[in-house]
Amino acid sequence: MSKRIALVTGASKGIGKAVALSLAAAGHHVVLAARQVDKLEELASAIREAGGEASVLALDLGDTAAIDGKIKGLLATVGQVDVLVNNAGITKDMLAMRMKAADWEEVIRVNLTGAFLTTQAVMQSMIRNRWGRIINISSVVAQTGNAGQANYVASKAGMIGLTKTLALELASRNITVNAVAPGFIETDMTAVLNDQIKEKLLGLIPAKRFGSVDDIANTVTFLAGDGASYITGQVISVNGGMAM
C-alpha cells in the first residue's frame, strides 16, 4: 500500500511540528502547512533526512477565500489527503468587556472557520476513497472556560461541536472525526506566562507537570491509524487530569 498522506496545519512549530514528526515516523507522507514557509522547509528537510516523506504548503487560514484553491492545488499534486490534522490557531486575549470585535472575528476566522473550510476541501477525497481521519486540536479551556479568552475558547468549543457533527455525517464512509483537547502544554504559546501564573496552573494539574508536545502528537498519531477505526465523535482530553 502506498503511504497515506497527512495534512497538518500550523506545522511550523509547537504541537503541529511534533504531530508532523510523529506522523512521518509512523510512515505517513506529511504535508506541512503554515504561513512561515522557511520553517516548514527546515522541518521537511529534517523529515527527509530521517528517511521520511514531506511536502510544504503555504497556507494562511486567515485568508479564508484562498483555502479551497490552495487545497485543490495540493490535491492535484498529491492526489488525496487521508489524514487531516486541524491544528493551526491564534490567540488575541482580552477580557470580554474590552475585547475588540476585530479580535473576536479574527480568532474565530482562523481557528474555527479555517478548520471547517480546510476540512470541507479535503472531505471529497476521503469520501471517494472511503477512508479518512480528521483530527481537530481543541483545548482544555473549551471544556472549562478561561477568563480573558472568550474568542479563543469559543473557537475551540466550536471545534468540538464541529467534530461531533462531522462524525455523524461521515461515519458511514469509514471516516472518523475526533478532537484532541490538550491541557497546558509547553509551547511558545505558554512560554510567555510568568512564573506566578505557571505555579498557579501546576496547582490545578494532578500530574504536577505541564504536558509536552509529544504527549499530544502520540495521541494524534494513534487516532490517525487503523487501530482507532471504531473511535469517532470523541474528545480525547490530554491534560494530566486538569479537567475530568
Which residue numbers are catalytic?
152
Q: In what order do the strands lie in the sheet with 5-9?
A: 53-58, 29-34, 5-9, 83-86, 132-137, 175-182, 235-238
Query: What single-letter DSSP state applies at residue 149?
Result: B
Pairing of strands 5-9, 132-137: unpaired
Cell of 93: 486575549
Cell of 225: 491509524
Helix (H) or strand (E) holding 160: helix 150-170
DSSP string, 47-95: HHHTT-EEEEEE--TT-HHHHHHHHHHHHHHHS--SEEEE-------B-
